[in-house]
Amino acid sequence: MPARPSASRRTVLRGAAVAPVAGLGLAACSAPDGGGAADAKPTAPVDLGAENEVAQGGAKLYRDRNVVVGRDKSGALKAYSTICTHAGCPINKLQGTTLVCPCHGSQFDALTGKVVQAPATEPLTELPVKTANGRIIVGPGT
């Protein structure tokens, strides 16, 4: 019958198994290149869809594009990157007009880009937005 490892050896092995898991959690909140925020801006104009998808006083999250578009009470559109300014995580949850980051719980106003709950301290990056032929277009040249 094989000998059981000593209690101190079991502790060391248990600690070694935990270390890689913690590292994965940090990697999920880091930018793909390992530095700074993930790519926060489209590099070309992007058609997000029909203009009527964003209600007056409301917002729509475009998860696959890392963009949120809000329409204020006057009807004006604003667009923001949904890459969290705290740790570069993509924000994937919109509750009403509040964006909630899954990594550390930062919250942002989707109509203004402003931080409404820390740990983030910087607002979201505003993106150029326009409508053309009833479509929402975000990105450079708009």
Using one digit for the tens of pLDDT, what is the confidence trace for 87-106? 999 999 999 999 999 999 99
Unique residue bearing structure tokens 């329409």? 71
d(CA 51, CA 60): 11
Contact 90, 107 (CB under 8 A): no
d(CA 93, CA 88): 15
The pLDDT score that the predictor gives to residue 140 is: 83
Model pTM score: 0.72
Contact 135, 50 (CB under 8 A): yes
Q: What is the mean pLDDT of residues 35-41?
A: 50
